[in-house]
Amino acid sequence: MLIRIACVLTMLGVGAGAQPGYPRHHITFGAGGASPRAGLRAYFTTRPAVAVSYGYRFLRNFQVETGLDTVFGAAGVRDYYESPLGLVRIRDYQFLLPVGGRVILPLGAERVQIFGGGGIAWLRYAELIRQPIEYLRIECPVCGSRSGWANYALSGVAVFMDRGRHFRTGVNVKMYRGHTEGDPLGAAPAMRTRDQWLQIFGEIGLSF
């Protein structure tokens, strides 16, 4: 399915014929790890993470973007809830929604890009239950959540794999610094905490 979507978007981008020497739209998928830093290390652990983002390159050297980073089980919650359908598992997830931009240094006829940037992000850590039936949603009255705001900075490199500059791969390093507050979650107390995350992702992307 993703391959079909990529092919359609590529055809649309080529057919538009309005690219000023570089692709304007950038869809990126990333996978790697997220590591809690500073005081957050007392409550959370390093866990796998994935990311998806969309960027619009409005000038040759500038791009605005937004996305969603998801960390799986950093709080170590392994619990169960007695629902009307029986026991269901509770796990924790960390969602980071960044909004910002980047400065791009293109090299080698735009085939290589070195970039750096930053912005703000909304953080939400939540306990969620695994829904046992796809078409029926079970509420979780015992699940806790925390939320807050952060700043982030990023840097990395991307390399286009084709001459048309549609498909690329690369590495992205991102640091979040902010806070959350709310319910206790794993070892995190029911109080405001200073949060830092270091994320390292390998990425693949589509540009058009």
Beta strands in 4-160 (DSSP E): 25-37, 47-59, 62-72, 79-83, 86-107, 112-129, 145-160
Tell me what pLDDT residue 13 has. 43
pTM exceeds 0.75, yes or no: yes
Enter the tokens of residue 103.
């400065």
Tell me what pLDDT residue 20 has. 54
Tell me what pLDDT residue 167 has. 97
Condensed to tens digits (0 to 9), the pLDDT of residues 17-36 reads: 344 588 999 999 999 999 99
Condensed to tens digits (0 to 9), the pLDDT of residues 38-68 reads: 889 999 999 999 999 999 999 999 999 999 9
Tell me what pLDDT residue 173 has. 98
* Residue 155, SS3 per DSSP: strand
Question: Rounded distance, CA 27 to CA 100, Å?
Answer: 15
Residue 197 CB neighbour total at 10 angstroms:
27
Per-residue pLDDT of the chain (208 residues; tens, 9 = 90+): 544 544 444 444 444 334 458 899 999 999 999 999 988 999 999 999 999 999 999 999 999 999 999 999 999 999 999 988 789 999 999 999 999 999 999 998 889 999 999 999 999 999 999 887 777 888 899 999 999 999 999 999 999 999 899 999 999 999 999 999 999 999 999 999 999 999 999 999 999 9
Tell me what pLDDT residue 109 has. 85
